[in-house]
Amino acid sequence: MSDSSSSALSLNPSGSPRVLAVIPARYASTRFPGKPLVDIQGKPMIQHVWERVQQVAAIQHAVIATDDARIQKAAEGFGAEVCMTRPDHPSGTDRVWEVASQFPAYEWVLNVQGDEPFINPEHLEAVISAIQAHPQADIMTLVTPLCEPEAWQDSNIVKAVLAQDGRALYFSRAAVPFHRDAPELPRQGFRHVGLYLYRRAALERFTQLPPSPLELLEKLEQLRALEAGMSCYAVLVNQAPIGVDTPQDLVRIADLFH
């Protein structure tokens, strides 16, 4: 684990943090094979993600990480830098670290999922800017307000429990926190957005740790970091991006491009 203070390596001459963005893209998705290359308004999905990352001035370098030659060919076709990775990574985070380990000049690594064609560049700027407010953080992430009763009961929506300063205390698929005295009342809380900005040393350590008990129980990778004592801070944004997990989602998002 690195010291919490910023080193000369981690800063640009202007004093801003040096950030590498890595976009993991896997072809062999169980629910949606070939998802990164699916056509959305004449472009492969991964290109939409790449172009939004390119709009963020705080990101000095961006790379698409894949193990598939079809994704490599498509990405290089629209001008992206691509790193080919091992095919046997257990998670996208491990794929991100394989790439980040090749770029030691960047002290912060932003993991941007390749199936988020609507990721908001302003949200990426916000999570990077938050480094200044939380220089001790190992990991930065995003949350949005969560109020809808049906969302609280949806196990696919991950809830975040935060301290008053934004430090993450817990993540769960369950409806937490629980209002003991008035469980029937509407609750206000936070929905976790799966975007992570890692301090380089924290990312390396995270990928070397075995899956933790809570991670295995909830099937939430970020719990491994909390159980290992890493500090994770959340930035509040107004809306979660719309992801594409299944072919049916393409129909749902079509109108958003009109």
Q: What is the pLDDT of residues 196-233, one digit of tens each?
A: 999 999 999 999 999 999 999 999 999 999 999 999 99
Distance, CA of 61 to CA of 103 (rounded, Å): 10
Per-residue pLDDT, 96: 97
Q: Where in the chain are all domains bearing CATH 3.90.550.10?
A: 16-119, 135-192+200-240
DSSP 240: P
Distance, CA of 219 to CA of 133 (rounded, Å): 30
- In Å, how far are 1, 57, 194, 215 from 20, measured between CA atoms? 19, 12, 17, 26
Class of domain 16-119: alpha beta
CB atoms within 10 A of CB 180: 6
Q: Are strands 168-172 and 159-162 parallel, antiparallel or unpaired?
A: antiparallel
Domain covering 135-192+200-240 in this structure, CATH number = 3.90.550.10
Residues in the chain with pLDDT < 50?
1-11, 13
Per-residue pLDDT, 31: 66
Distance, CA of 197 to CA of 241 (rounded, Å): 16
| Helix (H), strand (E) counts: the chain | 9, 11
Which amino acid makes up residue 207?
T
pTM reported for the whole predicted model: 0.88
Per-residue pLDDT, 80: 97
